[in-house]
Amino acid sequence: MAKVISSQEFVKNVKEEKGIAVIDFFATWCGPCNMLGPVFSDVAEELKNEAFFAKVDVDQSMDIAQEFGVSTVPTVIFFKDGVEVKREIGFMPKEKITSALNSIK
């Protein structure tokens, strides 16, 4: 399962690190987010050696959500060396997450 991270952990593990990070911005009350959760966790487990995977609860970490202009959940943002390189909004099947990750390697 992908870990829910705080704003401080986001800075440390995404903005200040080299490599690829895939972050699922979600809300606990969001139906499509709850559908994406297990799919995202499966991909995170399978590809844990290829990228850092984590989740950000937009209600708990509003500062990060606002910084990246996340106004719709779920939003999955792909980062490379701390910089956003791709964004997907809404529910995604496993194959789409994997394909998006492969496109930025």
What domain range is 79 assigned to?
3-104
pLDDT (0 to 100) of residue 105: 83
- Please give the chain's pLDDT, 105 residues, in tens: 789 999 999 999 999 989 999 999 999 999 999 999 999 999 999 999 999 999 999 999 999 999 999 999 999 999 999 999 999 999 999 999 999 999 998
SS3 state at 86: strand
Q: Considering its fold, how many domains does the chain have in total?
A: 1
pLDDT (0 to 100) of residue 27: 98
Catalytic residue among 33, 43, 92, 97: 33
In the sheet that holds 83-89, the strands lie side by side as: 3-4, 52-57, 20-26, 75-80, 83-89
Please indicate whether residue 62 is annotated as part of the active site: no
pLDDT (0 to 100) of residue 79: 97
- Residue 14 belongs to a domain with what CATH number? 3.40.30.10
Total-model pTM: 0.95
Contact between 26 and 55 (Cβ < 8 Å): yes
Catalytic residue among 11, 30, 35, 47: 30
Q: For residues 40-74, b (16+ Cβ closer than 10 Å) or e, as one string?
A: bbebbeebeeebbbbbbbbeebeebbeebebeebb
Please indicate whether residue 25 is annotated as part of the active site: no
Neighbouring CB atoms inside 10 A of 24's CB total: 27
Longest Cα separation, the chain: 33
